Chains A and B, each alone.
Chain A
């Protein structure tokens, strides 16, 4: 896996095919008095294949709604979402996701949790367990195959959740604040691990977060969102992690601070004002 600087940068630039296409996506809800609450004003965004894009916005801006729409769990009120050119409804299985809550099934062992997606797809027991074990072994969790999630630490559970996502081999991985329940050290380690995995498997990743630092450390691009009703305010080309080889190096880079200041200014978060 030794790559020159040029090869790495070319990896960033070469992939121009579009993985997810959001066109004029709007979303509104109705409250109990039938008033319209507009959550997403208008989002048009192309997420390129194999890129790592972060969606950063002030809290409550509608990031989770966006997540639900991209994951195919919610229909947009207007506009459309295409995954690899196909409408989202028919594309279940292409998008794997990971949330702040690990969503491991407490009644399933780690092995059975990891093989869940394969089980749903109807793959035979022997085969799916072999696949799951292979992944678990790869990430140092083979000893816990027969354990129940309750016996694992938060970081390990989140790692299992990631492996479960990978086991179904989705082209696109959606990450919805997957680290925010973890302590800082574990978070840094997992960030690094995920970057490594995404690189190895060549996945497209969408990270939804309010953590500006995390977004800069991991992303190729960052889409900064406005307050609710939200839309894309600005897109930054970052690519520090890919160029420098790790999220840690990205955090130590001079440009990290510049991005941070700019994005912070864009978010226009007013301290003391409840949003």
Chain B
């Protein structure tokens, strides 16, 4: 009973807050207005020959190229290649990194031994490995996945390992006093209490994976949004570059939102923490 009341009170509070702030519809209209305004100014500037469409592209030209690329299916082929490489690399690198980072909790000595290697790898901009990866694995999907995995692996590992260091030692003592084995402590305390750290690494990693894939595609690739942008850029086809950039932006947003949604699924208790703070 009390719980329901509490929830009602929170909801009422939220509603009140919302009423005070500007309606979301108005805000969205303003945002749309800014985009349309910019496009209109751009287009007009091109029409009145105030800027050079060969160097800047133009909204109408971008639209024409989008229609062409959608109709030929080229845009989807490239988008799919990039998204596929990003997601696979992200999942592979993040999962592997998180698992190894967590397992390091078992052995301080081992963690100590590999520490400098991890630091060295972490400092290295992973894109520097792209030429080698492409030489070894070719310009296909496998190289994209490999690059994205490498880019995400170390971040996930470090984050998970740091997570295991933040555990309240009282919780581990409590488990010990209950007669828990090390395996039980790992499963019931170490993993769940490190999850927020792991998830926050995921949010960074989806961005890193995308950067790695696009970087790889810039260097050498048979398809992908990075290749599309790179090739069109070399040909001074600015409208196609814009199509690529805007599609990439949309892809990035969707991937980021996807990972954020996963967060509330995986750590529901954090959501109830936030609710309380409200």
Residues of A whose CB lies within 8 Å of any CB of B are 71-73, 92-93, 95-97, 99, 101, 103, 105-108, 116-117, 119-121, 143-144, 147-151, 168
Q: Which of B175, B176, B269 has the most CB of A within 10 A?
A: B269
Q: Residues of B contacting A143 with CB < 8 Å?
A: 1-3
Closest 4 CB pairs of A and B: A92-B179, A107-B192, A148-B272, A150-B273
Complex: how many Å from CA A39 to CA B173? 21
- Of B3, B168, B192, the contact of A144 (CB 8 Å cutoff): B3
Q: Residues of B contacting A71 with CB < 8 Å?
A: 173, 177
Report yes or no: A151 in contact with B6, Cβ–Cβ below 8 A: yes
A/B interface sample: 15 pairs, CB < 8 A: A73-B177, A92-B176, A93-B179, A95-B177, A105-B193, A108-B192, A119-B188, A120-B175, A120-B180, A120-B184, A120-B188, A143-B1, A148-B268, A150-B272, A151-B272
Complex: how many Å from CA A117 to CA B276? 27
Complex: how many Å from CA A168 to CA B178? 8
Task: Give min CB distance, B187 to chain A, whole Å.
Answer: 10
Task: Give min CB distance, A205 to chain B, whole Å.
Answer: 16
Task: Give min CB distance, A77 to chain B, whole Å.
Answer: 19
Q: Residues of A contacting B6 with CB < 8 Å?
A: 151
B264 at the A interface (CB under 8 A) = no
Q: Residues of B contacting A107 with CB < 8 Å?
A: 192-193, 195, 267, 269
Report yes or no: A72 in contact with B177, Cβ–Cβ below 8 A: yes
Q: How would you classify the secondary structure of chain B's contact residues: helix, strand, loop or mixed? A: helix
Which B183-200 residues have C-beta < 8 A from chain A? 184, 188-189, 192-193, 195
Known A105-B171, A121-B179, A148-B272; 5 more pairs at CB < 8 Å = A72-B177, A92-B176, A95-B177, A99-B170, A105-B188
Task: Give min CB distance, B227 to chain A, whole Å.
Answer: 43
Report yes or no: A106 in contact with B176, Cβ–Cβ below 8 A: no
Report yes or no: A103 in contact with B1, Cβ–Cβ below 8 A: no
Complex: how many Å from CA A147 to CA B3? 9
Task: Give min CB distance, B72 to chain A, whole Å.
Answer: 49
Complex: how many Å from CA A119 to CA B177? 13
Report yes or no: A93 in contact with B267, Cβ–Cβ below 8 A: no
- Of B177, B195, B267, B272, the contact of A97 (CB 8 Å cutoff): B177
B275 at the A interface (CB under 8 A) = yes
Q: Residues of B contacting A150 with CB < 8 Å?
A: 269, 272-273, 276
B119 at the A interface (CB under 8 A) = no
- In the complex where A73-B176, A93-B179 touch, is A103 in contact with B188 (Cβ < 8 A)? no
Report yes or no: A106 in contact with B170, Cβ–Cβ below 8 A: no
Complex: how many Å from CA A92 to CA B179? 5
Q: Residues of B contacting A103 with CB < 8 Å?
A: 168, 170-171, 174
Complex: how many Å from CA A101 to CA B179? 20
Number of A-B contacts defined by CB within 8 Å:
71
Q: Residues of B contacting A96 with CB < 8 Å?
A: 177
Report yes or no: B195 in contact with A120, Cβ–Cβ below 8 A: no
Residue of A nearest to B172 (CB): A73
Q: Residues of A contacting B188 with CB < 8 Å?
A: 105, 116, 119-120
Report yes or no: B272 in contact with A116, Cβ–Cβ below 8 A: no
Complex: how many Å from CA A99 to CA B168? 13
- Of B3, B170, B178, the contact of A151 (CB 8 Å cutoff): B3
- Of B3, B178, B192, B269, the contact of A92 (CB 8 Å cutoff): B178
Task: Give min CB distance, A65 to chain B, whole Å.
Answer: 13
Residue of A nearest to B272 (CB): A148
Task: Give min CB distance, A109 to chain B, whole Å.
Answer: 9
Residue of A nearest to B1 (CB): A143
- In the complex where A106-B273, A150-B273 touch, is A116 in contact with B170 (Cβ < 8 A)? no
Complex: how many Å from CA A274 to CA B272? 41
Q: Residues of A contacting B267 with CB < 8 Å?
A: 107
Would you give the 0/1 interface string for B1-13, flagging 1 where the beta carbon is closer than 8 Å to chain A?
Answer: 1110010000000
Which B1-30 residues have C-beta < 8 A from chain A? 1-3, 6
Task: Give min CB distance, B226 to chain A, whole Å.
Answer: 39
Residue of A nearest to B274 (CB): A150
Report yes or no: B1 in contact with A151, Cβ–Cβ below 8 A: no
Complex: how many Å from CA A92 to CA B3? 36
Q: Residues of A contacting B184 with CB < 8 Å?
A: 120
Residue of A nearest to B268 (CB): A148
Which B229-251 residues have C-beta < 8 A from chain A? none
Task: Give min CB distance, B184 to chain A, whole Å.
Answer: 6
Task: Give min CB distance, A108 to chain B, whole Å.
Answer: 8
